[in-house]
Structure 1
């Protein structure tokens, strides 16, 4: 899912070359190609991670993930392999029962769980913001909204004060030839089309670029996006510049509203689709911090959860009763998120079924219209029109975007005014649009009137344009409903810009005729306004279901006839099974912000070699509910690693330690506590 960081490998200065060679038995499994970032303890009692930056970039990230890489079924010594050690030598060592260079836990106790309340309470008192600003950085449209402490429910949009022309504007970015900001939204459209053809080729014009991080199976910091003319630029640069502009506009109006207000008084909320992969979420976090939003004042918000917070109080005249269940479909321009929730004690929201979704939305209808035009007049003619007359092309597509909203049960057709530039380009090919329509496969679905240059699209053709995206949405809704108690689930809430289409709502209502289908007021703003509301709520307002099973890699006494022979190792005079999956969180399990899952363990070091050995903590995940081993056959993959250097005087003969897996809003934190020394190692999982 995510690409990997190649950190510089730190060598301990006190370790001689000869001793490092002896420790070359430290190895990863066969397919591990990346080295983890180094945790370098200092003389202080509690020690943070020290990052080993690469030669290519600097980073504050602290863990080396391989989000999709599988772990093969091989002997897995947890200490790392040094370069040059062959697979055959490792196999031979295992067969001969030579002493494996182990560093993981020898014995573990059953994991326990407790909720962390203290930090949440202290955050409430110490870091209460004076203003919450939410940025909805959408696939097709973007905007921001905000409210002030003491008047939290009075949410103002970007349109207030004239900062943006509308509450949301097109997610279009125009950069100058030197790759600096020029304009955004409608201004970017206008500025670009007013450029001369020569100047236009030197500027960068980006639209629909957010889909890049949802369409790519592999996301990395250096990935590029291409502008409308095919010029590449680093995606991180494009995203951060766009977010920085929205941040600047929001800061300007907010700071001018109240005397004495400072940037540090603002809590920033950035919305992300629930279908975002772990690496996509981290990408958005890094782009936001690069845009100037402090990490300590930044929260990522899942769009359907924000929409639920906004919508649920508005669908009933009285308070929503505990136990009320609903399906919420956030139908946006480029993505669709669908979740099933239940209201529980304290007004909290609990996931009934893990959020799912599609890269499908209102922009798919626009794409189908463009493809129809290409089929009608030919790819080359459309390409010439869009290249030589970009302003006219945008005007035609924008008019269709408005007209498509007219489609409903009583609609027979819509009419579009054909741009003179398009008619001119067609005429230059010695063709006539009227004749083209009559000779095309659309002859019964389209009609062109050359007198007023209007193209009539009948209902059948319009339904064909809507069909692919609406069918995907309905299919997802059916899948979610099957996972829920259909007798209890009787309400579907629609939010998002695409949900404001009467035709979309009619299709959904006809399919789910026994359910109530509710369109929330200002559905297009539900996510944005809900994100502001979430900024004032406790972080544990949402209870989610884990997408994976998470656990630590440990080893335990070998069970002959039960454990795989390939994982049998010999250590300290006894036979053990390596790569045992110690489950901490099960797939589908309810988790919420602040929960801490604890594994209590102890280790021993009885030889000089063991006392100065580097130790590792590996966190794995699996799509299975109850994996037994951290291997490919059980669909396990490494999430991240903490590398722990020995104390200056070596490890003691025996020491106790705890491993903590802490649930954040959108990511996990892993902590290692040495209970003998009080040292603490911490890492957030890095998926890029």
Structure 2
């Protein structure tokens, strides 16, 4: 693949930023550097009409009420359907990839010739994964009738698969041994993958199984502590110096200026190292300086003098001059959070730690990780760490069975009636129907949080429609972070999905109709299948995590 056009001087463009630019009409215009540069060159008044969205991927993790109607706010304050924005981004990549492949191979590549792999953070909830799949369908990568054409891969798993295939001689922090990492890992060996991206950090521990497969030792963990958390520290600093209201005013009234300033900051952020002693200059756009004088009635230099911190000054060249010590301080909260999380999940059996993702290329993060782990743990940083997930996703697409055992993040199940047992069940759960005494709201767990589930493992339950002419069965599906859950109305139990089973029309049957539901929790997505036992036919069954 060719490198991306556009970008910043001095920054290699192996990746393009997550930016979508829509025309004032809402139609797609461009993505990545092209979108950013076009938006930057617009007249200030004209730019206010255009819809500029960046770093929107994080919305899928942070929005607890994510659904098909979720909206994103653009730079000009306009709300846009999130599903539409993600579909635009995926369609852009689809068209770009097909064109690149067609040019390279000298033939016209068709959509059906490709198995598409979309990577997501391992800590994403099922709602977010379903959202990405729906966006991919809307973008034309696959269809609901042929879902197998699209594979959802977990980012740290993709990185893990790639790192195992890499040679030590190609890896940063490793020796010149001309053998693959896989060659030195025996059955039972464990290693940790720390995937540090722009938004989230995922930590996964894998164990090598007989035959070369992988087992997830514990459920992937992490949080929102990627490189954007450092950006937030910089924004917090600006708010302290110039006032929170002014910064919000600048973001709203001069969105192009804000983009310019964050571009300048990104370049300086990447230049920050643990041993740097010279200060760094961050250029403030003229629109910032001008608006500050108009709104606050005095100069930027005056605000900096009033802030009275020797670590940040106004330079003669019209830039923020930030000391190396203050730059490192801006990294500190994020680095400490990542290091603490890694340490909390480290165990004595882990021999290697693979540091991957775009943020992994930061020398500040590399030093913090090396300092936080025991001496026997070999910290390895692949070359082009930001591309590790991409390369691993290709390998995962060729063999989606590489990870054979995963650990369930949550306890999943349904609510049922059980026979009431006085010595076990609370009185408030007693339900009398005729001569029978039942316990209501019992949590029937399909899988429990922390439980290891093998790829292909099936959990089955049987249900019967109430009426013979019933066309659909709807079952509420619940989740809980605890393994020892008893009832569906406990404090941290939520309804996370609706299971919908479309019943095929059949001739009348004399016996009671049985529907056997099979659910699979060992893959990257929760999958469901349903058999109409009375007829032997398949029923259309889906888990809707938006319902």
Per the normalisation by structure 1, the TM-score is 0.69
User: 1:163, 1:257 → 2: CA distance?
Assistant: 22
User: 2:285, 2:412 → 1: CA distance?
Assistant: 60
Q: Name the residue aligned to 2:45.
A: 198
- Structure 1 counterpart SS, 2:379: strand
Q: Name the residue aligned to 1:446.
A: 312
2:131 to 283, 286, 290: 283
Q: Name the residue aligned to 2:174.
A: none
Q: CA deviation at 1:571?
A: 5.4
Between 1:309-318 and 1:221-230, the stretch displaced more is 309-318
**Cα pair 1:551 1:581 within 8 Å, conserved:** yes
Alignment of 1:293-332 (within 5 A): 293-295=141-143, 296=146, 297-314=149-166, 316=168, 317-318=179-180, 319=183, 320-332=185-197
User: 1:392, 1:400 → 2: CA distance?
Assistant: 12
User: 2:70, 2:515 → 1: CA distance?
Assistant: 39
Q: CA deviation at 1:458?
A: 1.4
Q: Tell which structure's C-alpha radius of gyration is larger.
A: 1
- Is 1:526 the counterpart of 2:526? The answer is no
- Is 1:639 the counterpart of 2:505? The answer is no
1:584 to 442, 446, 468: 446
Q: 1:283 to 1:401 in 2, by over 3 A?
A: same
**Cα pair 2:478 2:493 within 8 Å, conserved:** no
Q: Name the residue aligned to 1:457.
A: 322
Q: 1:580 to 1:397 in 2, by over 3 A?
A: closer
User: 1:184, 1:588 → 2: CA distance?
Assistant: 39
**Structure possessing the higher relative contact order (Cα contacts under 8 Å, 6 or more residues apart):** 1
User: 2:134, 2:319 → 1: CA distance?
Assistant: 47
- Structure 1 counterpart SS, 2:151: strand
- 5+ residue gaps in structure 1? 1-156
1:363 to 228, 241, 247: 228
Alignment of 1:327-342 (within 5 A): 327-342=192-207
Q: CA deviation at 1:323?
A: 1.9
- Structure 2 counterpart SS, 1:632: coil
User: 2:129, 2:514 → 1: CA distance?
Assistant: 35
**Cα pair 1:329 1:492 within 8 Å, conserved:** yes
1:543 to 405, 412, 417: 405
Q: 1:656 to 1:230 in 2, by over 3 A?
A: closer
1:213 to 60, 70, 86: 60
- 5+ residue gaps in structure 2? 169-178
Number of aligned residue pairs: give it. 520
User: 1:189, 1:380 → 2: CA distance?
Assistant: 25
- Is 1:478 the counterpart of 2:340? The answer is no
Q: 1:577 to 1:177 in 2, by over 3 A?
A: same
- Structure 2 counterpart SS, 1:469: helix
Q: CA deviation at 1:306?
A: 0.9
Q: Name the residue aligned to 1:673.
A: 531
User: 2:63, 2:280 → 1: CA distance?
Assistant: 37
Alignment of 1:26-65 (within 5 A): none
User: 1:457, 1:361 → 2: CA distance?
Assistant: 22
Q: Name the residue aligned to 1:504.
A: 365
Deviations 1:116-158 (Å, cap 9, x if unpaired)?
xxxxxxxxxxxxxxxxxxxxxxxxxxxxxxxxxxxxxxxxx45
Q: CA deviation at 1:196?
A: 1.7
User: 2:508, 2:328 → 1: CA distance?
Assistant: 72
Q: CA deviation at 1:380?
A: 5.8
- Structure 1 counterpart SS, 2:520: strand
Q: Name the residue aligned to 2:217.
A: 352
**Cα pair 2:413 2:444 within 8 Å, conserved:** yes
User: 1:668, 1:573 → 2: CA distance?
Assistant: 39
Q: Name the residue aligned to 1:244.
A: 91
**Cα pair 2:396 2:402 within 8 Å, conserved:** no
Q: Name the residue aligned to 1:516.
A: 378
Q: 1:538 to 1:365 in 2, by over 3 A?
A: closer
Q: 1:158 to 1:682 in 2, by over 3 A?
A: farther
User: 1:300, 1:585 → 2: CA distance?
Assistant: 21
Q: CA deviation at 1:329?
A: 1.0
Q: Name the residue aligned to 1:79.
A: none
Deviations 1:604-631 (Å, cap 9, x if unpaired)?
x9xxx97667866554433332444444
2:120 to 239, 248, 272: 272
Q: Name the residue aligned to 1:159.
A: 3
**Cα pair 1:670 1:682 within 8 Å, conserved:** no
- Structure 2 counterpart SS, 1:333: coil
2:479 to 593, 613, 621: 621
Q: CA deviation at 1:346?
A: 2.4
Alignment of 1:143-158 (within 5 A): 157-158=1-2
User: 2:210, 2:140 → 1: CA distance?
Assistant: 38
Deviations 1:560-612 (Å, cap 9, x if unpaired)?
4333444444557544444444433222122243322234x587x9xxx9766
- Structure 1 counterpart SS, 2:217: strand
Alignment of 1:121-200 (within 5 A): 157-159=1-3, 166-200=13-47
**Cα pair 1:611 1:646 within 8 Å, conserved:** no
- Is 1:222 the counterpart of 2:69? The answer is yes
Per the normalisation by structure 2, the TM-score is 0.85
Q: CA deviation at 1:649?
A: 6.3
2:355 to 484, 491, 494: 494
